[in-house]
A and B are shown apart, each in its own frame.
Chain A
């Protein structure tokens, strides 16, 4: 059973950078797709991006200029970095695994999720 756990600060100031880590247990981080998703009352569920295997990434264009997702295979973790925060970035941030696609298939539905971490952007 794969288990995911987010960690990081719960409060960040505007204009600062958010750094979150997702620790994966019960399975290998490779070769899988891993994602960050956030949820807020105003925006609903919003996909932030994914990282695959050793570092191939795909980001939501709405956040692309501010987002970096990376993976640390030695620690079985992957991370989110989001810069230039505003109050609009206040949300619950989830890490999730994309259900492993067949070789012929498209990736993108999420079979394991962390419990989520509430991040508030406020001075």
Chain B
């Protein structure tokens, strides 16, 4: 199985500041034949299911605000929130879908400083 490791596990950022969450996979999730990284990011607010933010490592899902961006390739990825808003308080997960079993990171809790 591909193991997804996120860092940090907890993060506190001031409103309006930048937040960056990292995700590392135990093997590459890049497909050279398809030229895509099979990595997604989700946001989970308390009491809610996860919400898809980013797929293919850097493509924003429809309706997701532009302050959310994804980057990286191969085994190292990041999710950046450019200007933190109060509604961004949540747990964020990365997930690989390069090969089953599909696996998730352990989550990063984002709070307001």
Contacts and interface: CB of A to CB of B under 8 A. Distances in A.
Interface in B5-48: 31, 34, 36, 38, 40, 42, 48
A52 interface: no
Contacts of B48: 115
B101 A106 contact: no
Interface in A73-111: 94, 96, 99, 104-111
B52 interface: yes
Interface residues of A, number: 23
A47 B100 CA distance: 9
B34 A47 contact: no
B82 interface: no
B55 A106 contact: no
A35 B41 CA distance: 17
A110 B52 contact: yes
Interface residues of B, number: 26
B71 to A, nearest CB: 17
Contacts of A105: 34, 36
A99 B55 contact: yes
Given A44-B106, A107-B97, A111-B61, A116 B36 contact: no
B59 to A, nearest CB: 10
B104 interface: yes
Contacts of B96: 108
A93 to B, nearest CB: 11
Contact of B50 (A46, A58, A61, A110): A110
Interface in B71-100: 93, 95-98, 100
Interface in A12-40: none
A2 interface: no
Interface of B: 31, 34, 36, 38, 40, 42, 48-52, 55, 61, 93, 95-98, 100-107
Interface of A: 44-47, 58, 60-62, 94, 96, 99, 104-111, 113-116
